[in-house]
Structure 1
Amino acid sequence: PCTDQLERVFLRLGHAETDEQLQSIISKFLPPVLLKLSSAQEGVRKKVMELLVHLNKRIKSRPKIQLPVETLLVQYQDPAAVSFVTNFTIIYIKMGFPRLPIDKQCELAPSLLTAMEGRPQPQQDSLMHLLIPALYYLKYRNESTKLSSLFNLAEKPKIVHLLLDFMLDVLLMPYGFVLNELSRQSTPSGQGSSTSGSGGVGIPQPPPGMSFYAAKRVVGDNPWTAEQLEQCKLGIVKFIEAEQVPELDCVIHLVVASSDTRHSVATAADLELKSKQSLIDWNDPVIINKMFKVYLGDIPLKTKEGNLMKPELKRDPVSTRVKLKIVPHLLRSRLAAEQFPPNIQVKHH
């Protein structure tokens, strides 16, 4: 009976001529069809896969067709769902979310964060890739308290940590960066220190302040254009302004953003940093350690752990432009001056 039902869905898809008809069938049948991937019968699973291949062709050639993203997000978060089902469900969330109207994307933004909980890192990255562009459009004015409770991040320290790490990499990402262009580069002769120092011969050179792995995460499956990246960076600064996360965790984000090559991002971050000056304790070890870490990158340490770092995870120091923004803040910190060895390492960079 199960394969008969799938056959009927197949027929209905075949008869759908307009986008509206196709969208109606997809909205109704896609979530339950995905659930059938957990069937014990191989014949059913095979039929579902055939159906999905057919569906993908139809969806990809019709960019206006909306997918039932909200239902899929609920299904994705079901603790009882098997990983085979969730792995396919996120494919359609990724396909459908950018097609949604902006106001719907804003409405579902908190659900993306909730959905990250306990997921494999590639899936968390995909969800962050959908969330970050939506931040630019979120309305925070006079709704700060409402949005704070909507995002509910106070109860999700792991998600906050993930999100802030990803956001910092987005802010460090240069405009117009192309990953595959980078992948064609061989290790430059005479400049081996940037890669071979950590045993990374043949690892492509990442942007300053980033590792190859971090760059790959930010580029994702659908790289942002320079204009989209600018909006993403502005969205992150707005998100920090709206105090959605503890402000002291975001000081380094604002310092990096204030060095941005695009005026809109640098100005917004600078203004926010100035407004927070009286709140920031420049002798706070958390703030200072983050600044040193970003400034210096991963310096190979003569320890077991340092030697174990995979070359693609090794972060390079940031560009001179970012360093020039960090140094004045370090200079006002007594703690930074006393911190050894980073105080000497910064001096030599």
Structure 2
Amino acid sequence: RGRLTSFIHPFPFPSNSYSTLPISSHKMDGAYQQDIELLEKAFLMFGLAADDREVERLIKAFLVPVTLKMNSKFKPVQDKAMELLSHITKRLQTRSQVQLPIIVLIEQLDGATPLVQNFILVYLRIGIPRLSPVDQIEILPLLIKSMNNKTKKQIDSILSLYSGALIHLTITDAAALKSLVPPDGTMKEYYLCYQLTLLLIPYSYEGDLPPPGLTVSQYKQIVSDKPVDPDTLEKMKVATIHLLSSELFAINEMLIHLIIGSCDPRHSVYELCDQKLKHNSDYEDNGVIEKLYNIYLGTAIRSSH
């Protein structure tokens, strides 16, 4: 699978899962000492790394296992791991060409503790935009699968990464696109709600109240720390419409998205939606009418808000 496969590697650290059976204190001390020594060694190696190639090699070898050490039962090990992760983050901020082990990071989301999951999401936000467009599309199915058994905030973070990568989508075959969306069920409904929220986000907005049609929490789903670049947001909306209007979704599932998109101020968005609406129009569907009323009357898109 291209360059991404080179990031799948054996962990240099021992397993982080200590036995729950009673063990002697000297064995616990031995495990603790081993972790500390390995973290110190990794810290020294990062300190001596002088170029991007060396930093990338070390990140491929140490980032995931060091992140997993945040689960250690020993507080000094956690502190040392945190210190090393902070150092790694600073190095990444000044070395924009360094690649991260994205596939391994995504795979570690399943079964990890919430603390480790949050650290992984931080590094995914750093690393995914650095991938080539082809590799970004390649990881979309992995991101979709990783949404299971996550908190709402974590799912929103994953969908944000997903939407950013989706702008590089070029395939149109429905069979090939199937792995890029959640299967039928609650997660698919959430996915569609998130994409509707994305389409409602304005390209620029200032004010104490959320934009029309959105609640505060919905607005923050997309615009969390800083506003999305308008041109990037436009590309995200276009990619979303292309995917939603494929054969993967029934007309009553995505008609509301096309209607909202047809009101978008950007030409590429509203023209695409207008074209799709000419071939897909079932305005008498009760579900579509209810969603339109909910937006028009100011009711939250999601019934939980």
Q: TM-score, normalised by structure 2?
A: 0.84
Label 1:221 to 1:16 Cα distance change in 2 as closer, same or farther (>3 A): same
Counterpart residue type for residue 225 of structure 1: D
In the alignment, which residue of structure 2 is the partner of 1:197? none
Counterpart residue type for residue 186 of structure 2: K
**Residues of 1 paired with 2:235 and 2:217: CA distance?**
23
In the alignment, which residue of structure 1 is the partner of 2:295? 294
The structural deviation recorded for 1:222 is 4.6
The structural deviation recorded for 1:128 is 0.9
Q: Deviations over 1:7-35 (max 9, x none)?
A: 11011101110111101100111111111
**Aligned partner of 2:171 among 140, 160, 173:** 140
Count of residues in Structure 1 that have an aligned counterpart in Structure 2: 270
**Residues of 1 paired with 2:262 and 2:231: CA distance?**
17
8 A Cα contact 2:39 2:81, kept in partner:
yes
**Residues of 2 paired with 1:153 and 1:170: CA distance?**
17
**Aligned partner of 2:280 among 268, 276, 287:** 276
The structural deviation recorded for 1:255 is 0.3
**Residues of 2 paired with 1:74 and 1:246: CA distance?**
31
In the alignment, which residue of structure 2 is the partner of 1:49? 82
**Aligned partner of 1:176 among 204, 213, 223:** 204
- SS of residue in 1 equivalent to 2:183: helix
Q: Deviations over 1:201-246 (max 9, x none)?
A: xxx2111111122112111235321111111110111111223333
8 A Cα contact 1:169 1:210, kept in partner:
yes
**Residues of 2 paired with 1:53 and 1:165: CA distance?**
35
Is 1:244 the counterpart of 2:248? The answer is yes
8 A Cα contact 1:112 1:127, kept in partner:
yes
In the alignment, which residue of structure 2 is the partner of 1:106? 137
Identity, % of aligned positions: 33
Counterpart residue type for residue 284 of structure 1: D
Is 1:211 the counterpart of 2:209? The answer is no
8 A Cα contact 2:201 2:211, kept in partner:
yes
Gaps of 5+ in 2: 1-33
Label 1:125 to 1:153 Cα distance change in 2 as closer, same or farther (>3 A): closer
8 A Cα contact 1:34 1:88, kept in partner:
yes
Label 1:237 to 1:215 Cα distance change in 2 as closer, same or farther (>3 A): same
**Residues of 1 paired with 2:259 and 2:233: CA distance?**
18
8 A Cα contact 2:182 2:191, kept in partner:
no
Counterpart residue type for residue 92 of structure 2: I
Gaps of 5+ in 1: 183-203, 300-305, 314-349
- SS of residue in 2 equivalent to 1:154: coil
- SS of residue in 2 equivalent to 1:60: helix
In the alignment, which residue of structure 2 is the partner of 1:228? 232
**Aligned partner of 1:258 among 259, 262, 265:** 262
**Residues of 1 paired with 2:48 and 2:89: CA distance?**
16
Q: Deviations over 1:305-328 (max 9, x none)?
A: x9xx9xxx5xxxxxxxxxxxxxxx
Q: Deviations over 1:18-58 (max 9, x none)?
A: 11110110011111111111111111111101101111111
- SS of residue in 1 equivalent to 2:210: coil
8 A Cα contact 2:70 2:116, kept in partner:
yes
Counterpart residue type for residue 151 of structure 2: P
In the alignment, which residue of structure 1 is the partner of 2:147? 116
In the alignment, which residue of structure 2 is the partner of 1:166? 194
Runs of 4 or more off by more than 6 Å in structure 1? none
**Residues of 2 paired with 1:133 and 1:267: CA distance?**
21
In the alignment, which residue of structure 2 is the partner of 1:319? none
**Aligned partner of 1:151 among 175, 180, 193:** 180
Is 1:75 the counterpart of 2:105? The answer is no
Superposed, which structure 2 residues align to 1:80-95 within 5 Å? 81-95=112-126
**Residues of 2 paired with 1:272 and 1:131: CA distance?**
23
8 A Cα contact 1:258 1:265, kept in partner:
yes
**Residues of 1 paired with 2:139 and 2:227: CA distance?**
22
8 A Cα contact 1:240 1:247, kept in partner:
no
The structural deviation recorded for 1:135 is 2.1
Counterpart residue type for residue 50 of structure 1: E
8 A Cα contact 2:109 2:146, kept in partner:
yes
The structural deviation recorded for 1:151 is 3.0
8 A Cα contact 2:145 2:182, kept in partner:
no
**Residues of 2 paired with 1:221 and 1:27: CA distance?**
28
**Residues of 1 paired with 2:51 and 2:74: CA distance?**
33
8 A Cα contact 1:2 1:44, kept in partner:
yes
**Residues of 2 paired with 1:15 and 1:40: CA distance?**
29
**Residues of 1 paired with 2:245 and 2:284: CA distance?**
22
**Aligned partner of 2:92 among 59, 66, 71:** 59
**Aligned partner of 1:21 among 42, 54, 71:** 54
